[in-house]
A and B are shown apart, each in its own frame.
Chain A
Amino acid sequence: MRRILVGIASIALVAAGCSPSNPDGESSGGGASRLTIGTTADVVNYNPLLGNSRTDTWVTNLMYPRLMSMDMEGKRTPYLATKWEYADGGKTAKVTLRDDFTWSDGTKVTADDVIYTIDAVAKEKIGIVAGLIPSYTNATAVSPTEIDFHLSQPDGTFLDNVGFWMPVVPKHVFEKAPSVQKFANDSNWVSAGPYKLETVERGQRYVLKRVDNYPLVDGGKPAAQEVVFRVFPDVNTEALALRNGEIDLIANAVPPALAKTLDGNDKIKTVKVPSLGWAHMQYNVQRKPLDRLEVRQALAAAVDYEAIRRVALQGSAVSSNSSVLTPTLKQWQDTSAKEYTYDTTKAKQLLTGAGYKDGNGDGLLDGLSFRMIYDQADPNIAKWAQLVRDSAKEAGIDIKLEGLERNTYVAKYQERDYDIYAGSWAIMDNPPANLALAFKCKGFINYANACDPALDKLIDEARGKLEQADQKPIIQQAAKMITDQVYDNVLYVEEFTIAHSAQWSGFLTQPSELLSIVNPQSIAQAKKG
């Protein structure tokens, strides 16, 4: 009896308290006009200027425009901006905007919005963008569609950085908040993308409805009336939903093993999207004996690169030839680069030549025990970390794996508390800017703790040049130095598999998981049938 009462009480409670939500506005005319996208995490943060997770970026990208977009070679293409150039010997950057973008409340998108955004970012030091525009001082609006950015010194990375990384937010909305950094932006969205956010059911779905005047699609009207992001914490369930037709597209990259299964299914199409970053190990050169080049070279020779790509990544990865200039960025790539050779005998020779011996006969050279940290939640790294450990053992090197949960991982790498750091970059799209942060002495993301004056000099020189053609040879020199000194052991560049229903077509592919086929232009022009 009692238990029946408990059951009834619970159901009554729910029936009373949980009325199903009534969507605002008209319901869509039918499934044909709705694109349902699966994702594994909720939107946590609606302010596009703050550090974001993938889902945050996918959704806010559909709402806030950027100055530039990117093509499959990594080159900047026009988006909100039509043209851009440097003047005054590089101390001014001039940008011209389109005049046909409007915010969803009717106001036009103008130079004022752009200037407001960059000023807020610089003043409040918001997120990664602030770190990418150190030379920015101020800007003037020459006209509603022309801006002059003033820089403290010639900086050839400024335009590419601010163009690609900074979303433009509406001044008349964001300025009402006491601080842009604290502005949650979690309701009454005013946006200028192809879709605007209407309903949020946390834990379940995010519903966006199309606008009628998006300039970047023919006719101004996106094909799909509605875009719905549905949240599935488990990627297995997500895949089942795709196979069943309940969702049309999975935004998060599908794990390699699952990708293979979906490939064989004729109701599903898969798209290969190259990463703009790379996966790597970095050896902490400020710790003995990693300060010795032979030791780093030996470690590099003790990794089976082919096996990692073939097995751990299931072939969904390409070699970068051990260079930080990856094949995704065709305009920077150095085709003469060659990958470190996997040769455990050579590794052992390097080490014994450097004076290391196996005193106790356990197969491991004494004094060569390293702690390698990685984010345990990253399934790919967790796999190849084991391969690395096993092959290093054959070379006589002992690597202790420390798969850490996220907090601890972040804390440790910020303090540089490790011998070997294993991780991956999502986007490293602009080498002159990225190499500065990653390899200059005390660089913010310099996980190798490299401090090489010759390298620093090259990087600074490149940043001062204003044309990519001038930057390229210097950057390639710097990259070669990084490879030779083993400041970064670039293992592979991942190739993401994005799966979608075969019934949908018209997607526009861009590199990186953050853009792939869910970038605004792609979604706007996608259609069913």
Chain B
Amino acid sequence: MTVTESPGRLTFEAFRRNPLGPISVAVLLLMGVVAVAAPLIADYPRGYGEDVLAPPSGAHWFGTDDLGRDVFAQVVWGTRVSIVVGLAASLLAIVVGVLVGVAAAYFKHADAALGVVVDLSLSLPVLPLMILVAALAGPSVPTLVVVIAVFSWPEVARVVRAQGLAVVPLPYVSASHALGGSHLWIIRKHVLPGVAPVVAVSVVLTTSRAVLAEAGLSFLGLGDPDSWSWGAILHNAQRSGSLATAWWTTLFPSLAILLLVVSATLVAVVYNDARDPRTR
């Protein structure tokens, strides 16, 4: 190891070496492009078509649903909603989680209380609670985002706190203190960059979990009926009785979910391995 190689460079190299890393990033980018360029790829699925529940063919790559609408278009537009909801929920969760995690790591007296809150939140079965809240609040995209975020932040806080606890006692932090730096400045300059890698991983992981949570809630009928998401496509298939008969209405959205979540998780895992000198 040459002395001029920075940890960042080493991480990047290790990441690149593992074939799974770059492939997953490519897949994620591709999905991002699909989400942004949805209008260019397929027409917004609306109205109805004549070919109801048609299997995949040249005209309809993913077949049609129970109203004759193109499933390919639904999956493409669903990419948008699912990713947006996943990302929005995860970002919200990240903000709250980082605040709580850093506060717990930095301010010792807050740690006891906050630590307990985080631990307790983690022991609860969240899906039933998410269902209760979503059912009461009514189906809409903002509701879903908030509900998922509210139940995802403890995991982020836990991880950030753990990392923060490793950073805070480091010598340069106490040195800054001695030099007269304010709490806020120290947090911004030292602690946050210290927890940044963990946060980066968290964003990706939380997003993928959020996508699964959104799919689950939409599948139960708690999603936004006016927007297409992968969970909504599956919900439609379930309601119209085509879940087990028209396999294309089930397979393609499920594959989309699988693809997104697997890629996101792989990116996080490979990055984590690359970052850690022991597993590089």
Contact = CB atoms under 8 A, between A and B. Distances in A.
Interface of B, secondary structure class, is loop
A314 B244 contact: no
Interface stretch (A169-177, A251-259, A443-451): A251-259
Contacts of B139: 376, 405
Contacts of B221: 376-377
B47 A390 contact: yes
Contact of B225 (A234, A254, A376, A408): A376
Interface string A401-412: 101010010000
B238 A314 contact: no
Interface in A361-413: 376-377, 379, 382-383, 386-387, 390, 401, 403, 405, 408
Interface stretch (A63-71, A115-123, A134-142, A235-243): A235-243
Contacts of A236: 238, 241-245
B223 to A, nearest CB: 11
Contacts of A405: 135, 138-139
A239 B245 contact: yes
A254 B240 CA distance: 9
B226 A307 contact: no
A360 B221 CA distance: 37
Contact of A234 (B47, B49, B67, B238): B238
Interface string A2-34: 000000000000000000000000000000000
Nearest to B226: A401
A237 B244 CA distance: 8
Contacts of B225: 376, 382, 403
A234 B242 CA distance: 11
Contacts of A312: 48, 67
B46 interface: yes
Q: Is the interface of A mostly helix, strand, loop or mixed?
A: helix
Interface in A205-245: 234-237, 239-240
Contacts, number: 71
B239 interface: yes
Contacts of A390: 46-47
A258 B245 contact: yes
A349 B244 CA distance: 47
B245 A314 contact: no
A311 B226 contact: no
Nearest to B222: A405
Given A239-B245, A376-B221, A311 B68 contact: yes
A336 interface: no
B244 A383 contact: no
Nearest to B46: A390
B70 interface: no
Given A257-B246, A311-B67, A386 B241 contact: no
Contact of B242 (A257, A377, A401): A257
B159 to A, nearest CB: 22
Most buried by B among A258, A260, A307, A376: A258
Nearest to A387: B48
Interface string B115-159: 000000000000000000001001100000000000000000000
B140 to A, nearest CB: 11
Contacts of B67: 311-312, 383, 386
Which bracket fits the contact residues of B? 20 to 34
B66 interface: yes
B48 A258 contact: no
A254 B242 CA distance: 11
Nearest to B249: A257
Interface string B40-63: 000000111110110000000000
A408 B226 CA distance: 18
A256 B53 CA distance: 11
A223 B47 CA distance: 48
A61 B262 CA distance: 52
A188 interface: no
Nearest to B225: A403
B244 A255 contact: no
Contacts of B68: 311
B47 A387 contact: yes
Nearest to B68: A311
Contacts of B238: 234, 236
B181 to A, nearest CB: 44
A261 to B, nearest CB: 4
A386 B47 contact: yes
A29 B66 CA distance: 42
A314 B47 contact: no
A386 to B, nearest CB: 7
Most chain-B CB neighbours within 10 Å: which of A236, A382, A408? A236
B244 A240 contact: yes
A507 B241 CA distance: 25
A255 B241 CA distance: 6
Contacts of A376: 139, 221, 225
A328 B257 CA distance: 46
A257 B138 contact: no
A213 B138 CA distance: 52
A95 to B, nearest CB: 43
Interface of A: 234-237, 239-240, 254-258, 260-261, 307, 311-312, 314, 376-377, 379, 382-383, 386-387, 390, 401, 403, 405, 408
Given A234-B243, A239-B245, A261-B245, 19 more contacts: A235-B241, A236-B238, A236-B243, A239-B241, A255-B239, A255-B241, A257-B52, A257-B53, A257-B240, A257-B241, A257-B242, A261-B246, A311-B49, A311-B67, A311-B68, A314-B66, A376-B139, A386-B47, A386-B67
Interface of B: 46-50, 52-53, 66-68, 135, 138-139, 221, 225-226, 238-246
26 contacts: A235-B241, A236-B238, A236-B241, A236-B244, A236-B245, A237-B244, A239-B245, A255-B240, A255-B242, A256-B66, A257-B53, A257-B66, A257-B240, A257-B241, A257-B242, A257-B245, A261-B245, A311-B49, A311-B50, A311-B52, A312-B48, A377-B221, A379-B239, A379-B240, A387-B48, A390-B47
